[in-house]
């Protein structure tokens, strides 16, 4: 008997998808608790969720909030700048196809740059949070560029021909037809960009910063505070998930015509 055969009757009843996700998450937490108190009890490498929550309550909001605020500030600015650059670059490439190949190669190179290698260089060249913002921006430019380009190319040919027939040029086609058609695909890229910016900011904090979730995680690792380290990691994961969900919600509200998956 497979998992699909077990869940098939529930699917036929029309149960929402979030119900299966909730059941799976609760099952994972229970297994995690059992393994943390048995298999990993001696090594303490994987503490049970109850101990992580206990440490979280002991540290309190006064410990987490300053670090969350620092990371969100860098990730937020990086998300804004990276997406702005990616969208502007997509507009440029769609309007001038001759430079598209070279432009995409340049964007791919920026995406493949090893963060560990360029991070220390940026930390030396820029002061304050600038290096973290740049790393966060570099983490999202390519993803947003691809999503925007796919959306811009998906514009209806008949509508483009109609604009051209009435004397409109490429820029008129862009604002009147392509931009609206690109929104569903663009928001798909922005959803991925949100947690990517968070990751870029945290990596930047690993390479040098005064505060932030990355700094707090390094300190907890050095002091062998395993439960606190897991707590910080879970907070970072929750923030990334919240950013993803918020972007998805905004995209859903702004693109009501886009097809939705069932569930």
User: Which mean pLDDT values do the consecutive 10-residue runs of the chain (263 residues) have?
Assistant: 49 65 86 84 83 88 91 94 94 89 86 79 81 90 92 87 84 86 91 92 82 88 88 92 92 80 45
pLDDT of residue 13: 54
Collapsed DSSP state (helix, strand, coil) of residue 256: coil
Any domain includes 204: yes
pLDDT of residue 260: 62
pLDDT of residue 127: 77
pLDDT of residue 6: 45
Range of the domain at 85: 60-254
Report how far apart the first and last C-alpha atoms of the chain are (Å, whole number).
Answer: 24
Any domain includes 41: no
pLDDT of residue 20: 77
Domain tally for the chain? 1
CATH code of the domain in which 238 resides = 1.10.3720.10
Any domain includes 23: no
Query: Under a CB-based contact definition with an 8 Å cutoff, are residues 71 and 214 in contact?
Result: yes
Token readout for 40 is: 């990993």
How much of the chain is helix, strand and coil, in % rounded to 5?
80, 0, 20
Any domain includes 46: no
Any domain includes 238: yes
Any domain includes 234: yes
| Alpha-carbon span 111 to 217, nearest angstrom | 25
pLDDT of residue 167: 84
> Sign of the C-alpha dihedral, residues 233, 234, 239, 241?
positive
Query: Under a CB-based contact definition with an 8 Å cutoff, are residues 133 and 73 in contact?
Result: no
């Amino acid at each position: 008997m497979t998992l699909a055969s077990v869940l098939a009757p529930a699917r036929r009843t029309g149960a929402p998808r979030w119900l299966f996700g909730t059941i799976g998450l609760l099952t994972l937490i229970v297994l995690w608790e059992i393994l943390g108190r048995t298999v990993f009890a001696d090594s303490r490498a994987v503490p049970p969720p109850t101990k992580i929550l206990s440490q979280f309550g002991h540290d309190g909001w006064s410990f987490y909030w300053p670090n969350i605020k620092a990371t969100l500030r860098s990730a937020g600015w990086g998300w804004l700048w990276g997406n702005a650059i990616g969208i502007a670059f997509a507009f440029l490439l769609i309007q001038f196809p001759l430079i598209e190949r070279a432009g995409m190669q340049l964007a791919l190179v920026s995406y493949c740059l090893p963060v560990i290698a360029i991070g220390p260089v940026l930390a030396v060249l820029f002061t304050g949070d600038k290096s973290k913002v740049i790393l966060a921006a570099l983490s999202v430019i390519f993803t947003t560029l691809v999503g925007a380009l796919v959306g811009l190319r998906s514009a209806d040919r008949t509508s483009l021909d109609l604009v051209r027939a009435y004397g409109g040029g490429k820029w008129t086609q862009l604002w009147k037809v392509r931009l609206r058609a690109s929104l569903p695909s663009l928001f798909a890229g922005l959803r991925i960009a949100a947690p990517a910016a968070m990751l870029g900011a945290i990596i930047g904090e690993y390479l040098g910063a005064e505060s932030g979730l990355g700094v707090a995680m390094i300190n907890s690792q050095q002091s062998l505070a395993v439960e606190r380290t897991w707590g910080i990691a879970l907070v970072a994961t929750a923030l990334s998930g919240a950013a993803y969900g918020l972007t998805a919600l905004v995209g859903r509200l702004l693109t009501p015509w886009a097809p939705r998956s069932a569930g």
